């Protein structure tokens, strides 16, 4: 199982990240994302916003996903934001 963080090329409403969870330990996330039923992801794709897989934690589970979500500061864990390519949180 894998936990991942997606970084959007633009904010969608107030969201710039999505933290998700995949049953697939290899986390073939491009396919996972393409097939996802997650409404936010689908809306972001439909809005023409690019999604980047910012980071993957390959052996993480639901507890870790929840922990990240509870931090409410995804940009802290996002290498794309941290590298300064996008200054906004």
Which range binds Zn ion by CB under 5 A, 24-32, 33-41, 59-67, 78-86? 78-86
Among 3, 6, 27, 81, binds Zn ion (CB under 5 A): 81
Judged by CB under 5 A, the residue of 2, 3, 6, 7 near Zn ion is 7
- The C-alpha R_g of the chain, in whole angstroms, comes to 12
Is 2 or 81 the residue whose CB approaches Zn ion more closely?
81
DSSP conformational letter for 69: H
Smallest gap from Cβ 7 to Zn ion, in A, equals 4
Q: Look up residue 23 and give its DSSP letter.
A: S
Closest CB 37 distance from Zn ion, rounded Å: 23
Binding of residue 80 to Zn ion (CB under 5 A): yes
What is each CA distance from 65 to 12, 59, 62, 68, in whole angstroms?
A: 21, 11, 5, 5
Residue 32 touches Zn ion, criterion: CB under 5 A: no
Q: Are 24 and 82 in contact (CB under 8 A)?
A: no
């Amino acid at each position: 199982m894998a936990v991942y963080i997606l970084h959007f090329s633009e904010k969608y409403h107030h969201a710039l990240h999505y933290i998700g969870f995949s049953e697939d330990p290899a986390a073939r996330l491009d396919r996972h994302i393409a097939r996802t039923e997650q409404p936010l992801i689908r809306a972001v794709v439909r809005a023409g916003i690019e999604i980047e897989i910012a980071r993957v934690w390959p052996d993480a589970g639901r507890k870790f996903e929840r922990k990240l979500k509870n931090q409410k500061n995804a940009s802290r864990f996002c290498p794309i934001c941290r590298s300064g390519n996008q200054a906004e949180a």
